[in-house]
Structure 1
Amino acid sequence: MSFLFILWSILFMDPIFSLDKIKWIVSEDSRLEIEGSTNVNKYNCALIDYSGTDILIQNDEVGVGNMSWAGDIVMKANNFDCFNPIMTRDFLKTVQAEEYPEIRIRFLELVGSRNPSQKEAFYGKVDITIAGVTKRFPVSCQLVTLSENSKKIVGSQSFKFTDFGIDPPVKFLGTVKVKDEIKVNFELFLVGKK
């Protein structure tokens, strides 16, 4: 008798913990900036003209209070501007924009706990693809609730050009050398998809 009750419970009752999936569009207002330096100065390259069509999925574990996010952000390499024509040209050549026109960030299960605060810390992994090479990195970021239908994910990630098999550029007979480490800062504005 108890076996039949357990079987009936498994087959016909709602599970205690279920997943609630919500789709969010990554808005064209989102920002991504790359910071780097040379032995002479610093530089910034910003993503301009982002299309705003990528989707991130929010998974809420109902009954547990945990939340996770996953999805891809795809950017056109040629849409980065270093605010100096020579620096922009060198950056696009370095990331091999002609051969590999897309730079991709894949969020792999950013996990955090759902709480009533406006800011929530999330941790997880991202796959970053540059010049056709994909590498996985740990990432921490913050989810900020702006309104019922809008949020933003803010964070940064450091890595090296050589992680992707890219040699940092050297210019002017070796007098200007780009340092290997760069930092990516991102602010992704999300709008609930209806």
Structure 2
Amino acid sequence: MKTYFLFFFALCFAVSGIAQSSFETREIAILPNSNLSISGTTNINDFECDFNTIYFKDQSFKVHYSENGDILNFKNSILPLENANFDCGNRKINKDFHDLLKSEKHPEILLKLKKIDMSRDGNALVTLTFNIAGIDKDYKFPVEITRDKLLCFDGKLQLNIKDFNLEAPSKIFGLIVLDEEIEINFNLNIQT
């Protein structure tokens, strides 16, 4: 019985090693001239919180992918965005932004790349998991990908803060109300 168990364990390990070998690993750098922002509206005005892309300087990220025709599948390919690197242009709005994201308990947003389907003309369909305030939510959205000297990903995504169990802070006894829909805008320049 012990021999069968060891054989089964060795077979599973060998099969998982073969399955994982189809993934390639590449190191990428997101250049500081990239742009990333989160914008939204209240019943009074609009706001935009820009990510300080200087954070990406001298950093590289590993992506693990397999290619199947026009589809790239990814695993363990995560881009962490520290909440502290977002600036909304005003100390009070920054505080509200960090309260909304529960930054004290969850100091970063995680972007987990899952799939890129490049079979569309000039655009790709990206599947990405957002982890905000400890909650994962998958999104599919179109992204324009251009290749010149760099690889550039340009797009925007609408998401609802309720998907992440977030409650907008109430201001002035509820007179200022944040819309539940926010937009993430990005123009990422990537060097491979």
* TM-score after normalising by structure 1: 0.76
Structure 2 counterpart of 1:7: none
Q: Is the 8 A contact 2:71 2:117 kept in 1?
A: yes
1:113 alignment partner, SS class: coil
The one of 84, 91, 116 equivalent to 2:90 is: 84
Structure 2 counterpart of 1:107: 113
Once residues 136 and 41 of structure 1 are traced to their aligned partners in structure 2, the CA distance between those partners, rounded to angstroms, is 29
Q: Is 2:177 aligned against 1:168? A: no
Instruction: Give, as a single letter, the amino acid of the residue that structure 2 aligns with 1:190.
Output: I
Instruction: Give, as a single letter, the amino acid of the residue that structure 1 aligns with 2:167.
Output: D
The one of 49, 53, 62 equivalent to 2:60 is: 53
The one of 73, 79, 83 equivalent to 1:73 is: 79
Structure 1 counterpart of 2:47: 43
Question: Residues 177 and 129 from structure 1, CA distance in 2 versus in 1: closer, same or farther, beyond 3 angstroms?
Answer: same
How many aligned positions are there?
166
Structure 2 counterpart of 1:130: 132
Shift of residue 188, structure 1, vs aligned partner: 1.4
2:97 alignment partner, SS class: helix
Q: Is the 8 A contact 2:27 2:60 kept in 1?
A: no
Structure 1: runs of 5 or more not aligned = 1-17
Tell me whether 103-112 or 24-33 shows the greater mean CA deviation.
24-33
Kindly report structure 1 stretches of 4+ aligned residues shifted beyond 6 Å: 18-21
Once residues 58 and 152 of structure 1 are traced to their aligned partners in structure 2, the CA distance between those partners, rounded to angstroms, is 18
Deviations 1:105-139 (A, max 9, x none): 1121111139xxxx831113110011111111112
Question: Residues 19 and 85 from structure 1, CA distance in 2 versus in 1: closer, same or farther, beyond 3 angstroms?
Answer: closer
1:92 alignment partner, SS class: helix
1:174 alignment partner, SS class: coil
Instruction: Give, as a single letter, the amino acid of the residue that structure 2 aligns with 1:39.
Output: N
Structure 2: runs of 5 or more not aligned = 1-21
Deviations 1:82-118 (A, max 9, x none): 011111111011101111111111121111139xxxx
Once residues 67 and 122 of structure 2 are traced to their aligned partners in structure 1, the CA distance between those partners, rounded to angstroms, is 14
2:36 alignment partner, SS class: strand
The one of 17, 25, 28 equivalent to 1:24 is: 28
Deviations 1:6-55 (A, max 9, x none): xxxxxxxxxxxx98765432223322100100000000001114234323
Q: Is the 8 A contact 1:35 1:42 kept in 2?
A: yes
Deviations 1:123-160 (A, max 9, x none): 1311001111111111211111022xx21111111111
Tell me whether 136-145 or 35-44 shows the greater mean CA deviation.
136-145
Q: Percent identity?
A: 23
Once residues 44 and 97 of structure 1 are traced to their aligned partners in structure 2, the CA distance between those partners, rounded to angstroms, is 17
Deviations 1:57-104 (A, max 9, x none): 56545xx4x242643211101111001111111101110111111111
Higher relative strand content: 1
Q: Is the 8 A contact 1:33 1:45 kept in 2?
A: yes
